[in-house]
Structure 1
Amino acid sequence: MKIARYRSSAGPERLGIVTLASGREWLLDVAKASAARGGPDTPATMMGLIEGGAAAMDATYGLLDWAAQRQDPLWMDDPASVQWLTPVPEKSMFCAGRNFGRHLLESKQGDSANAGKLHSDFPTGFIKLGRTLVPHKSQVKRPADVHCLDYEVEIALVLGKALDAHSDIDPASAIFGYTIFNDLSAREWQLREMHNGLLMLGKNFPGFGPIGPYILTADEVPDPTALVLWLKVNGELRQHADCRDLIFGFAQLLAFWSRFGLVPGDLVSTGTPEGVALHHKPNPQAWYLKPGDRVEAGVQGIGVLETFIV
């Protein structure tokens, strides 16, 4: 099931399920369809669905089957005309760094002086503030003092269960679903911060976290390592990989970050594959993002996250 948060007008948040009707994709408005059916109750918000567990998922699948037999246009919204929201309400994100093998290799080749200090003993990363996250189709302003604006396509895991260092469940079973994330980065700020052993501003300018548009629920992904992710700038392919190149897999990342105490709706990202502008040869500046650029980040089976740099 592919699901999204959006507004169809100036009204409240809607929960939509991707459905096919008349040969194309639509968003089934869960609240409208549920009201038309008259029960059983189905969560009408993303967090209600996530926190409702298996019972909420069963009710939602039941509603989807019922609505698919009727295909009433009164319950359908056109994805091309909605106002997108981030897949979950404002949440900070736990982001893994240098977690794809070939990206780690290009990082070492690009910084030979510090290559020997890089290790994969355990996941390392940073926090992406919830206020940086912006939805599909957003315009992201390049700050006036940023000239090395980079892209990083990633997969973000959406937690469906609480998870901490004492949990006795399989971390993979805590995944509610998967969405697309573009970890925009101000490289000149990031590198200067990292020379002091810290990282914050370079990853957290306003709008530096495009995410969405959909969550693909975990039951639709039997083998997460087979997920393919890619990124294009103005139609030019820059990144392409699958998750078999991950150094730390999905369950390993969750087990490690669970030390923070994760709760339903929390976000954990995988890190990015090779192909970032920072390590482009011979001239990284040619690949850095600039006003007017259109960035498409995609994950097979989930969709495409589109962002415009202004």
Structure 2
Amino acid sequence: MIQAAKGMVSKFGSGSLQVLAAGYERVTGSVLAPMRPRANYYCYPQYYMGNGRSLIADQDELEWPLFSTVLDFELEIGLIISKQIRDCSPEVAQSAIGALCIINDWSARDTQWDDTRRGTFGGVVKAKTFAGSMSAIVVTSDDVLSQFSKLQGRVRVNGEIWCEGQTAGAMYEPWEMVRYAAMGETLYPGDILATGCLPGCSGLELGRFPKKGDLVQLEIDGIGTLANRIKY
């Protein structure tokens, strides 16, 4: 998350903010407070509700959102719920994860930057709800969930590897994410929870973004692949 915050400042921040952030880190060995995860990040899983109707399939073309000039990818893992749960135990939350898939959490970074600073509901509203994509093949939890902390993935753009990442060191286990999402709310079979971006697996963290016409391919060992071309 800190690397992503640095990417935001580098791409969209004013010159004075960039100088301030770099100087503060050089002197203190830490980043500015607004660039750090909020306190609750360390207390329970953070999440937001996406738009399921904007989900597109593997091999579908992605429409570039008209309100954005900076489009980005995020390599994430989808947890597919297989039974109805609510206010459940860790064991039940774990058992409710029926399968895993790959999710690309497409993001309009310029909109996210603007809404984070000036919006009423933060940066994950319009910047995140216009589209997401999901792999065509899912893998049952029996095959891969026990190896969740050892998964590795990568992103290719037009066949070139842009970045690689892994799930090791995740702040929360999959069952913790599911259990928190089911607190006071009912999860139903077919609901999908995305884990958040694998560290290093977004253009924001690279300072490099896809363009119209690019083919963006996501891959996670043991789960599969997901590819979408950005429409001209």
Q: TM-score range by the shorter chain?
A: 0.7 to 0.9
How far did 1:299 drift? 1.3
The structure-2 alpha-carbon separation of the partners of 1:116 and 1:167, relative to structure 1 and needing over 3 Å to count, comes to: closer
Match of 1:293 among 214, 217, 220: 214
Larger RCO: Structure 1 or Structure 2 (Cα < 8 Å, ≥ 6 residues apart)? 2
Deviation, 1:187, is: 0.7
Instruction: Give the drift of 1:249.
Output: 1.5
> For this pair of structures, how many residues does the alignment match?
200
Alpha-carbon distance in structure 2 between the residues aligned to 1:147 and 1:230: 24
State the 1:167 CA deviation.
4.8
Partner Cα distance (1:226, 1:117) in 2 = 24
Q: TM-score, normalised by structure 2?
A: 0.79
Choose the corresponding residue for 2:110, options 181, 188, 192.
Answer: 188
Unaligned runs of 5+ in 1: 1-103
Write 1 or 2 for the structure with the bigger share of strand.
1
| Aligned ranges 1:224-263 → 2 under 5 Å | 224-259=148-183, 260-263=185-188
Q: 1:179 aligns with which of 101, 119, 122?
A: 101
Flag the 1:250–1:192 CA change in 2: closer, same or farther, 3 A.
same
Query: Post-superposition, which runs of at least 4 consecutive aligned residues in structure 1 deviate over 6 A?
Result: none
Partners in 1 of 2:90 and 2:79 — Cα distance?
Answer: 19
1:116 Cα offset (Å): 4.2
Residue type of the alignment partner of 2:3: E
Q: Report the Cα distance in structure 2 between the residues aligned to 1:168 and 1:182, rounded to whole angstroms.
A: 27
Task: Find the counterpart in structure 1 of residue 141 from structure 2.
Answer: 218
Question: Residues 156 and 116 of structure 1: is their aligned pair in 2 closer, same or farther, counting only changes over 3 Å?
Answer: closer
Give the alignment of 1:131-146 within 5 angstroms.
Answer: 131-146=53-68
Whole-angstrom distance in 2 between the partners of 1:232 and 1:181: 14
Structure 2 gaps of 5+ residues are: 10-30
1:209 aligns to what? 132
Contact 1:151 1:277 in 2 (8 A): yes
Deviations 1:259-306 (A, max 9, x none): 2221111101110121422233xxx3xx22211100101111222111
Contact in 2 for aligned 1:231/1:297 (Cα 8 Å): yes
